[in-house]
Amino acid sequence: MVSQPEVEAYDPAEILAETGIQLPALPKDWQVRDAQVFPSRHGHSVEVVIDASDLGRVSLFAAQASGFNVIAPTLARFDKAKAVYWQTGPLAYALTGTGGDKVLERAALRLSRQLP
């Protein structure tokens, strides 16, 4: 959409301060293309669009969850898409993309380990 240009300015510390959402450190060879904050059922949510080298373009979604839980990265398949989701305490995450299942799962595991 012309009215919604991509914004490459990405400051995880600012996102944390404004939303309470901790985003994982991204690999150095990943290039953020867009970062947006949205309202969600339980507070804020954040979506970051990333060019992720061997994975191609991926989306990292993070949101405040309805309750505290710890869920290891888990692959979910849909008709034309796949995602790896996990939860760390009060925050839930999903990494979506078109890369192979194992590559996407490894990337999500790596990201999940970057969180407190």
Q: Are 45 and 21 in contact (CB under 8 A)?
A: yes
Q: Are 54 and 28 in contact (CB under 8 A)?
A: no
Has residue 107 got a pLDDT over 60? Answer: yes
Residue 3: inside a domain:
no
**Total domains in the fold of the chain:** 1
Residue 40: inside a domain:
yes
> What does the alpha-carbon distance between residue 45 and residue 74 come to, in Å, rounded to a whole number?
20
Unique residue bearing structure tokens 């979910």: 76
Unique residue bearing structure tokens 């839930």: 92
Q: Give the domain CATH number at 45.
A: 3.40.1000.20
Q: How far is CA 3 from CA 32, 48, 105, in A?
A: 20, 18, 34
The predicted-structure confidence for 13-71, as pLDDT tens digits, reads as follows 999 999 999 999 999 999 999 998 888 888 899 999 999 988 999 999 999 999 999 99
